[in-house]
């Protein structure tokens, strides 16, 4: 079947021969001929997310060669271009601010250049949602190619996983069990090869979710970056995108409400990152799909944890891949009737068809549905006078934490704590070990000014560590609460993503150190126990100040971003969908 591609409007347009001449000539300087560009073959973009400052995605510099091979073999013409880099660990003030920037940049490229379809090269946390969001806004055929996790990290005969090893290491450092050198050695051991985080942090989560949505080939997300299957997957992905271009299969036909509900289910079953919350909502909104805040509890909360991967479980990415990866987890969910799998995917088959025969071969890694690692592993949604929406990742709540806080006889699931309030992470670091705060097991650590507008960009700071003195006594976690995020690799039972944030006058702006916070998991509430008159008085004091913007993008980000419960999207961008349908003018 031949169809006229949008690139032909540039390269094969007799009505504008002067412009066509101009469009054609410069591609020749790296050896493409006018005949190729006028042959009616689809131009396939490769959105290159790898670079020296995006090390998690750097494998894509290599994989792109195999993607090109696949595209050429299937009769397309590849054109690779850079995505704005996003590197979770290194970007200050936070990588979150770059999701919307990379999104916006990719939209402009896909709309304004002669590209008919695109391979989205994903890896580090926000590189996946940024590109899926852009693919929806533009709505040209698109496919996700994950870069894959690093190999499993090992040290002293034990698995050491990305991020998880850091959180554990810093507790051991505070307890005086290890020195700085050992801490750095642990960090190095957790990162043994090319690839993204090898735990079920935000990177593995978002790649799994892209696969669950139906945006990548079956089994794509879990293949470790250095494995030979990764290069083979790159080749097959390159071949497949050409077919998607020919058939004009666009994200709008794949990213349905059913797909997003399945993503919520899969996220719970894999013990996925809390960051998935705003990214799933953002991807859905850009796809024009309505997700309700209730959907998290209704579809996600009762889903059991089936995957034994850090931070909720024991193992790392290599074993996940060998156990069958995302299709094996979804196979369990499918058998249990939890998926809406009669929906299209980029493979050209339905999700149900993709999952056939994918039962796991490793039952310690991926448990049978009726023998889960934990029941009710989905996010718990809370609301109250501190915020309208916040989540808690129940799959990481330890038995000790449960016993200490959630098991008071006759009051199961209810606890009250004394608030210790910090304005941003600088304040936290300056004062956490201050003895005059009298922090003990009955305290909840509260951080504010860490949301999309306050930080700016919403920082991964809510998993605050208890004071050193408490850690030395064996208290590994205190309850925490905040309007920021936390790393997907954290095992902290935090109440996070609280929205609206303090900086826009959310309830957190009015809490004070010493207030009692009451959390009731039965009712789904979290409140400061402060009477109305006092609350009214505090409101006259205003909201805690936030630092000024340091760059133009920070200012623009703050002016356009929404709150976390609506995905922290650029609000004005959500109005644009399917923009490729209207050609940009010459
Ligand atoms: Fe990039 Fe974890 S820091 S994947
Ligand atoms: Mg992270």
Q: pLDDT tens digits for the chain (586 residues)?
A: 578 999 999 999 999 999 999 999 999 999 999 999 999 999 999 999 999 999 999 999 999 999 999 999 999 999 999 999 999 999 999 999 999 999 999 999 999 999 999 999 999 999 999 999 999 999 999 999 999 999 999 999 999 999 999 999 998 999 999 999 999 999 999 999 999 999 999 999 999 999 999 999 999 999 999 999 999 999 999 999 999 999 999 999 999 999 999 999 999 999 999 999 999 999 999 999 999 999 999 999 999 999 999 999 999 999 999 999 999 999 999 999 999 999 999 999 999 999 999 999 999 999 999 999 999 999 999 999 999 999 998 888 888 888 888 888 888 889 999 999 999 999 999 999 999 999 999 999 999 999 999 999 999 999 999 999 999 999 988 999 999 999 888 888 899 999 999 999 999 999 999 999 999 999 999 999 999 999 999 999 999 999 999 999 999 999 999 999 999 999 999 999 999 999 999 8
Cα atoms in the 13 Å half-sphere on the side-chain side of 266: 32
Cis peptide upstream of residue 456 (ω within 30 degrees of 0): yes
In Å, how far are 23, 38, 422 from 503, measured between CA atoms? Answer: 47, 54, 13
Residue of 177, 180, 171, 183 whose CA lies nearest to 471 = 171
SS3 assignment for 179-206: CHHHHHHHHHHCCCCCCECCCCCHHHHH
Q: What is the C-alpha separation between 435 and 469, in angstroms, rounded? A: 9
Tokens of 473: 């006594």
DSSP code, position 573: G
Residues whose CB is less than 8 angstroms from the CB of residue 99 and which lie 6 or more positions away in sequence, other chains included: 86, 126, 129, 130, 133, 279, 282, 568
Instruction: Give the number of whichever ligand sits closest to the CA of residue 89.
Output: 1
Ligand 1 atom at minimal distance to the Cα of residue 162: 2
Q: How far is the CA of 198 from the centre of ligand 1 (A)?
A: 9
pTM of the model: 0.97
Tell me, in angstroms, the distance from the centre of ligand 2 to residue 305's CA.
20
User: Which value, in Å, is the radius of gyration of the alpha carbons in the chain?
Assistant: 24
Question: What is the ipTM score, two decimals?
Answer: 0.91
Q: Is 71 helix (H, G, I), strand (E, B) or coil?
A: helix
| Cα distances (angstroms) measured from residue 565 to each of 34, 97, 262, 282, 481 | 49, 16, 19, 9, 15
Q: What's the gap in Å between 487 CA and the centre of ligand 2?
A: 4
Contact yes or no for 415/407 (Cβ under 8 A): no
Q: Cα separation of 377 and 302, whole Å? A: 6
Domain ranges of the chain: 7-262, 379-541
Alpha carbons 260 and 420: distance in angstroms, whole number = 37
Q: Which of 55, 197, 221 to mutate to test the pocket of ligand 1 (most atoms within 8 A of CB)?
A: 197
Residues with CB under 6 A from ligand 1: 56, 88-89, 124-125, 162, 196-197, 201, 203
Q: Which two tokens stand for residue 184?
A: 């750095």
Enclosing H/E stretch for 235: helix 228-247
The ligand that comes nearest to the alpha carbon of residue 484 is: 2
Q: Is 8 exposed, middle or buried (0-12, 13-18, 19+ CB in 10 A)?
A: buried
- Which residue is it, tokens 């006028």? 38
* Nearest one of 57, 102, 86 to 225, comparing CA atoms: 57
CA distance linking residue 98 with residue 107, whole number of Å: 14
Nearest alpha carbon, ligand 1 atom 1: 124
Strands 480-482 and 443-448: parallel
CATH number for the domain formed by residue range(s) 379-541: 3.50.30.80
Reported as type and span, the H/E element at residue 161 is none
């Amino acid at each position: 079947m031949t169809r006229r591609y949008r690139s032909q409007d540039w390269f094969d347009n007799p009505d504008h021969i002067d412009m066509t001449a101009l469009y054609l000539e410069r591609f020749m300087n790296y050896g493409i001929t006018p005949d190729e560009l006028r042959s009616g073959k689809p131009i396939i973009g490769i959105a290159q997310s790898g670079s020296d400052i995006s090390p998690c995605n750097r494998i894509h510099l290599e994989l792109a060669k195999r993607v090109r091979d696949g595209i050429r073999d299937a009769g397309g013409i590849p054109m690779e271009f850079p995505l704005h880099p996003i590197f979770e660990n290194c970007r200050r003030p936070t990588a979150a601010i770059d999701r919307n920037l990379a999104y916006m940049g990719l939209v402009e490229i896909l709309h304004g250049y002669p590209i008919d379809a695109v391979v989205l090269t994903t890896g580090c946390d926000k590189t996946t949602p940024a590109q899926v969001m852009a693919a929806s806004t533009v709505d040209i055929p698109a496919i996700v190619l994950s870069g894959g996790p690093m190999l499993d990290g090992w040290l002293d005969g034990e698995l050491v996983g990305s991020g998880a090893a850091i959180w554990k290491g810093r507790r051991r450092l505070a307890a005086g069990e290890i020195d700085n050198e050992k801490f750095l050695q642990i960090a190095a051991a957790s990162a043994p090869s090319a690839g993204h985080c090898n735990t079920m942090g935000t990177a593995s989560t978002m790649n799994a979710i892209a696969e669950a949505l139906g945006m990548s080939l079956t089994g794509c997300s879990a293949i470790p970056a250095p494995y030979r299957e990764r290069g083979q997957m790159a080749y097959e992905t390159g071949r497949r995108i050409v077919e998607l271009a020919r058939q004009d299969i666009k994200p709008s036909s794949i990213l349905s409400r059913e797909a997003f509900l399945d993503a919520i289910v899969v996220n719970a079953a894999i013990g996925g990152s809390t960051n998935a919350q705003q990214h799933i909502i953002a991807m859905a909104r850009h796809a024009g799909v309505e997700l309700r805040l209730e959907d998290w509890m209704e579809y996600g909360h009762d889903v059991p944890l089936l995957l034994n991967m850090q931070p909720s479980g024991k193992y790392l990415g290599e074993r996940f891949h060998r156990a069958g990866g995302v299709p094996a987890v979804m196979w369990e969910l499918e058998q249990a009737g939890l998926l809406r799998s009669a929906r299209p995917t980029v493979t050209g088959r339905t999700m149900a068809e993709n999952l056939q025969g994918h039962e796991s071969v490793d039952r310690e890694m991926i448990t049978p549905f009726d023998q889960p690692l934990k029941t009710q592993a989905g996010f718990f949604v809370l609301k109250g006078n501190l915020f309208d929406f916040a989540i808690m990742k129940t799959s990481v709540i330890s038995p000790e934490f449960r016993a200490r806080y959630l098991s008071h006889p006759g009051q199961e699931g209810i606890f009250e704590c004394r608030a210790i309030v910090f304005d941003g992470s600088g304040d936290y670091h300056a004062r956490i070990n201050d003895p005059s705060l009298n922090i003990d097991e009955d305290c909840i650590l509260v951080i504010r000014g860490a949301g999309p507008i306050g930080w700016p960009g919403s920082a991964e700071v809510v998993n605050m560590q208890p004071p050193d003195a408490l850690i030395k006594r064996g208290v590994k976690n205190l309850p925490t609460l905040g309007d920021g995020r936390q790393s997907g690799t954290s095992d902290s039972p935090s109440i996070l993503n609280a929205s609206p944030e303090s900086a826009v006058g959310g309830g957190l702006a009015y809490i004070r150190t010493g207030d009692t916070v009451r959390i009731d998991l039965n009712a789904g509430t979290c409140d400061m126990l402060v009477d109305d008159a006092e609350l009214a008085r505090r409101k006259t004091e205003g909201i805690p100040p936030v630092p000024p913007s340091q760059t133009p993008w920070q200012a623009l980000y703050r002016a356009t971003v929404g709150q976390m419960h609506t995905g922290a999207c650029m609000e004005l961008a959500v109005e644009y969908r399917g923009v490729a349908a209207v050609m940009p003018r010459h």
